[in-house]
Amino acid sequence: MSKETKEREPLFSPKNIKLITGPINLSNPITVQVLGICSALAVTAKLMPAIVMAISVMVVVAASNVLISFLRNGIPPRIRIIVQLVVIATMVILVDQVLKAFVYDVSKQLSVFVGLIITNCIIMGRLEAFAMSNKPWPAFLDGIGNSLGYGLILVVIAFVRELFGSGSLFGFPVIPQGLYDFGYVNNGLMILPPMALITVGVIIWIQRYYTRELIEDK
């Protein structure tokens, strides 16, 4: 009985809050751990697909984290990767079907990349590193935190790329017509994946400039 009455950890204890804020800056999946780069390059030409992608990843990571965390004591270690994959695949298919049903246009733009969420290193990484050894609630927060960190970078890249590449945001033209008459032209390179990589590089540059903890000792 003494064990049960042990003081329960509050839902949003500092430790739990850290699970959410950590991946946004100090252990950001994209800029610090350099995971999930492929989708960051592929879906960020426009803002809309980037946001939908971020939300999809959030749903998949959070849900699979919670599920795996519930199952963690019952999974034989030798087949854990397969079990994790089955869970992720189920979630991805669910997300894919929902997207096809409600936002068909965006789902078409994202095309194969929704299916490829399965191979997004962030998800497998979180399941292996966190959900397999933690309780469901922290696992849920960890999933939300990591997908927020991922989504934040995605949105920033997509904002820059859509603004300079297509002169619009969410599909609405924002660069005034007068500028085009003056000779301004949209930057075609911004639409191409290499520029997404360079944008990621610039974000890492800025982040490290302001976050001294991230700079390795020489």
User: Could you count the other beta carbons within 10 Å of the beta carbon of residue 215?
Assistant: 9
> Exposed, middle or buried: residue 191 (CB in 10 Å: 0-12, 13-18, 19+)?
middle
Q: Which stretch binds other proteins (CB under 8 A): 6-14, 125-133, 136-144, 177-185?
A: 177-185
- The mark string for 198-217 relative to other proteins (x by CB under 8 A, - otherwise) is x--x---x------------
Q: Which is nearer to other proteins, 74 or 183 (CB)?
A: 183
Judge contact between 166 and 141, C-beta under 8 A. Answer: no
Amino acid in position 100: K
Helix (H, G, I), strand (E, B) or coil at 216: coil
Q: Rank residues 98 and 189 by Cβ distance to other proteins and give the closer one.
A: 189
User: Cα(179)–Cα(183) distance, rounded to whole angstroms?
Assistant: 7
Closest approach, Cβ 53 to other proteins, in A, equals 24
CA count, 13 A, side-chain hemisphere, 46: 13
In terms of CB distance, is 124 or 192 closer to other proteins?
192
Please list, in sequence order, all residues whose beta carbon lies within 8 angstroms of the beta carbon of residue 203, skipping any fewer than 6 positions away: 31, 153, 156, 157
To which H or E segment does residue 169 belong?
strand 168-169
- Candidate ranges 1-9, 17-25, 88-96, 178-186; the one touching other proteins (CB under 8 A): 178-186
Instruction: Give the residue with the Cβ less far from other proteins, 26 or 204.
Output: 204
Phi, psi of 74 (to 5 degrees): -100, -5
* Closer residue to other proteins (CB): 125 or 193: 193
Nearer to other proteins, 155 or 191 (CB): 191
CB of 166 to other proteins, least distance (A): 13
**Minimum separation from the CB atom of position 208 to other proteins (A):** 12
Min dist CB 211 to other proteins, Å, is 18
Question: Residue 147 CB, nearest distance to other proteins (Å)?
Answer: 29
Report whether 122 contacts 61 (CB < 8 A).
yes
User: What residues numbered 76-115 form the site for other proteins, per CB under 8 A?
Assistant: none
Angstrom distance (rounded) from CA 147 to CA 140: 11
Instruction: Identify whether the C-beta of residue 143 lies closer than 8 Å to the C-beta of residue 62.
Output: yes
Chain residues 182-201 in contact with other proteins, contact rule CB under 8 A: 183-185, 187-190, 192, 198, 201
Q: Which stretches of the chain bind other proteins, using CB under 8 A?
A: 183-185, 187-190, 192, 198, 201, 205
